[in-house]
């Protein structure tokens, strides 16, 4: 009898796990992958993909308004039907989940649709069938889960980003608790769909860790888009009112009521009950699997990739980590993921795109800086009459001329920053940006036409 049933057992068929399974199988490994929910994971099922489709829907509001300036007359006030959007998005999610399944099947990875728990350094127990699988390597790719920690009394009256995609009706009033990616993206899109949104955040500004100028300008733009901000508000309690609506109490100020409370106070690595502690795998303070650069845990046969390791919690990072792991362990092609320069976007309207260091981070790291800024009205806003600005900031090391960070707030910031990230990853200098010929007329051309550093 063979020593192991499979070469690789992957727990979790999200972005990282699926990539690892497919690549490992391509290298000839016998692979089994278990998923207790739907195949595709957070990004496909209840994250990036359905969220971005909602964001597209929310931006039509602006397009309809702007069209008049360009000569269009719309027949009547456009109306929006929530169930149509919700169900179309759900169908697309089902289609994508099917593609993920096909990809795994095509790679000849054996799929088990049930929960799997680790019982030994090389043993995994499938919970529904009871089957014990002996694996040469185990990969934990179970992602994260919304965290209500510490629990708010009445927090169960709120929903998380898991449920927000399935709301039976579009609420009239929504409270959003938190000031990070998820809170802001949903606050922004629901406000544009006509919901009266109030954002309750414990900090004095949103998006902690982002460049200060971006944080403040985004907050102001979202206020202008109709979102009410209650900053410095720690939610102490949520209660249900006789009519079914919710009332949230902040530590200070008047309580506030709404039909739905979306709690977006972060996510935690999904390791509870997985058996990792029992086999001696080290977990960090949030329950994350502690891994080395090769994504191996303190137990040599157990590895982990993606949000469950709480390194950089972004889908493309999980995919890379899964790919690197599979190439290294099964393909005899060792490589590791560089977590240093990673672009990201916040899909609010206006959008944020950012890569590299913020001005504050660069200063804290001891760089002497030249900072370039551009704040302009996009061409489309001239005729549409929309009060809209695009803001761009370049953070440059004064001694080496190296581009340390690029930060954009405005239309297409995510698209622009992805391309800019190539230059920053390559170690581009400001002089490289300067000798790049502008593409006119575009917003992105501002990145290569800024010449005068900010004074002071």
**Residue 216 to residue 360: CA distance in whole angstroms:** 14
Does position 178 bind ligand NDP by CB under 6 A?
A: yes
C-beta of 230: minimal distance to ligand NDP in Å?
12
Q: What is the 3-state secondary structure (H, E, C) of the chain?
A: CCCCCEEEEEECCCHHHHHHHHHHHHCCCCEEEECCCCCCHHHHHHCHHHHHHHHHHHHHHHHHHHHHHHCCCCCCCCCCCHHHHHHHHHHHHHHHHHHHHHHHHHCCCEEECCCEEEEECCEEEECCCCCEEEEEEEEECCCEEECCCCCCCCHHHCECCCCHHHCCCCCCEEEEECCCHHHHHHHHHHHHCCCEEEEEECCCCCCCCCCHHHHHHHHHHHHHCCCEEEECCCEEEEEECCCCCEEEEECCCCCEEECEEEECCCEEECCCCCCCCCCCCCECCCCCECCCCCCECCCCCEEECHHHHCCCCCHHHHHHHHHHHHHHHHCCCCCCCCCCCCCEEECCCCCEEEEECCHHHHHHCCCCEEEEEEEECCHHHHHHCCCCCEEEEEEEECCCCEEEEEEEECCCHHHHHHHHHHHHHCCCEHHHHHCCCCCCCCCHHHHHCCCCCCCC
Q: Using CB under 6 A, which of the segments 92-100, 218-226, 332-340, 341-349 binds ligand NDP?
A: 341-349
Nearer to ligand NDP, 4 or 145 (CB): 145
Q: Is 227 annotated as a binding residue?
A: no
Does position 339 bind ligand NDP by CB under 6 A?
A: no
Does position 346 bind ligand NDP by CB under 6 A?
A: yes
Closest CA to 186 of 54, 42, 59: 54
Binding mask 122-151 for ligand NDP (x = CB under 6 A): ----------------------------x-
Closest CA to 11 of 270, 313, 292: 270
Q: What is the dihedral of CA 279, 285, 286, 291, to 10 degrees?
A: -50
User: Two tokens at 306?
Assistant: 């993606």
Nearer to ligand NDP, 54 or 181 (CB): 181
Which of residues 44, 193, 264, 274 is near ligand NDP by CB under 6 A? 264
Longest dimension (CA), the chain: 76
Q: Using CB under 6 A, which of the segments 20-28, 68-76, 271-279, 338-346 binds ligand NDP?
A: 338-346
Nearer to ligand NDP, 347 or 372 (CB): 347
Nearer to ligand NDP, 295 or 344 (CB): 344
Binding mask 188-207 for ligand NDP (x = CB under 6 A): -------------xxx----
**Residue 197 to residue 261: CA distance in whole angstroms:** 10
Which of residues 26, 69, 103, 266 is near ligand NDP by CB under 6 A? 266
Nearer to ligand NDP, 51 or 323 (CB): 51
C-beta of 178: minimal distance to ligand NDP in Å?
4
C-beta of 120: minimal distance to ligand NDP in Å?
32
C-beta of 66: minimal distance to ligand NDP in Å?
25
Does position 267 bind ligand NDP by CB under 6 A?
A: yes
Which of residues 95, 172, 208, 377 is near ligand NDP by CB under 6 A? 208
Does position 345 bind ligand NDP by CB under 6 A?
A: yes
- Order of all β-strands in the sheet with 352-356: 344-346, 352-356, 403-409, 390-397, 369-376
Q: Is 180 annotated as a binding residue?
A: yes
C-beta of 306: minimal distance to ligand NDP in Å?
11
Confirm whether 440 is a catalytic residue.
yes
C-beta of 352: minimal distance to ligand NDP in Å?
9
C-beta of 198: minimal distance to ligand NDP in Å?
15
Q: For residues 308-327, which are near ligand NDP according to CB under 6 A?
A: 313-314
Q: Residue with the closest Cβ to ligand NDP?
A: 180
Q: Is 181 annotated as a binding residue?
A: yes
Does position 181 bind ligand NDP by CB under 6 A?
A: yes
Under rule CB under 6 A, how many of the chain's residues touch ligand NDP? 22
Catalytic residue among 166, 367, 387, 440: 440
Does position 353 bind ligand NDP by CB under 6 A?
A: no
Residue positions in the annotated binding site? Answer: 52, 178-185, 266, 307
Which positions touch ligand NDP (CB under 6 A)? 150, 178-183, 185, 201-203, 208, 264-267, 313-314, 344-347
Catalytic residue IDs = 440
Residue positions in the annotated binding site for NAD(+)? Answer: 178-185, 266
Residue positions in the annotated binding site for FAD? Answer: 52, 307
């Amino acid at each position: 009898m063979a020593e192991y049933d499979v070469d690789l057992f992957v727990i979790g068929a999200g972005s990282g796990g699926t990539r690892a399974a497919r690549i490992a199988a391509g290298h000839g490994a016998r692979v089994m992958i278990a998923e207790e929910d739907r195949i595709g994971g957070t990004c496909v099922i209840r994250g990036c993909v359905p969220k971005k489709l909602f964001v597209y829907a929310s931006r039509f509001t602006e397009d309809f308004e702007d069209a008049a300036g360009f000569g269009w007359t719309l027949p009547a006030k456009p109306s929006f039907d929530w169930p149509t959007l919700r169900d179309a998005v759900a169908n697309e999610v089902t289609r994508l989940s099917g593609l993920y399944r096909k990809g795994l099947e095509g790679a000849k990875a054996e799929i088990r649709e049930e929960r799997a728990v680790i019982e030994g350094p090389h043993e995994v127990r499938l919970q529904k069938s009871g089957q014990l699988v002996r694996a040469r390597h185990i990969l934990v790719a179970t992602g994260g889960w919304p965290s209500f920690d510490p629990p708010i009394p009445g927090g169960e009256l709120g929903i998380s980003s898991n449920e927000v995609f399935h709301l039976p009706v579009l609420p009239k009033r929504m409270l959003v608790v938190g000031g990070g990616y998820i809170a802001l993206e949903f606050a922004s899109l629901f406000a544009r769909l006509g919901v009266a949104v109030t954002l309750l955040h414990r900090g004095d500004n949103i998006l902690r860790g982002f460049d200060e100028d971006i944080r403040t300008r985004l907050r102001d733009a979202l206020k202008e888009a109709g979102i009410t901000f209650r900053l410095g508000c720690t939610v102490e309690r949520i209660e249900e009112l006789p009519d079914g609506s919710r009332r949230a109490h902040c530590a200070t100020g008047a309580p506030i009521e709404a039909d739905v409370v979306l709690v977006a106070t972060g996510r935690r690595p999904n390791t509870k009950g997985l058996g990792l502690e029992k086999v001696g795998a080290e977990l960090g303070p949030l329950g994350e699997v502690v891994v080395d650069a090769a994504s191996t845990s303190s137990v040599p046969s157990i590895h982990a990739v993606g949000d469950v390791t709480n390194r950089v919690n972004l889908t493309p990072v999980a995919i890379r980590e899964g790919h690197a792991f599979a190439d290294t362990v099964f393909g005899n092609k060792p490589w590791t993921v560089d977590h240093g320069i990673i672009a990201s976007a916040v899909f609010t309207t206006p959008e944020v795109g950012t890569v590299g260091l913020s001005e504050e981070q660069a200063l804290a790291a001891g760089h002497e800086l030249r900072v370039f800024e551009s704040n302009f009205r996009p061409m489309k806003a001239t005729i549409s009459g929309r009060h809209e600005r695009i803001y761009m900031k370049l953070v440059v090391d004064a001694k080496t001329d190296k581009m340390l960070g690029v930060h954009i707030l405005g239309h297409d910031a995510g698209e622009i920053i992805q391309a800019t990230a190539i230059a920053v990853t390559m170690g581009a200098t400001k002089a490289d940006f300067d000798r790049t010929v502008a593409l006119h007329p575009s917003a992105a051309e501002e990145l290569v036409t800024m010449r005068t550093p900010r004074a002071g």
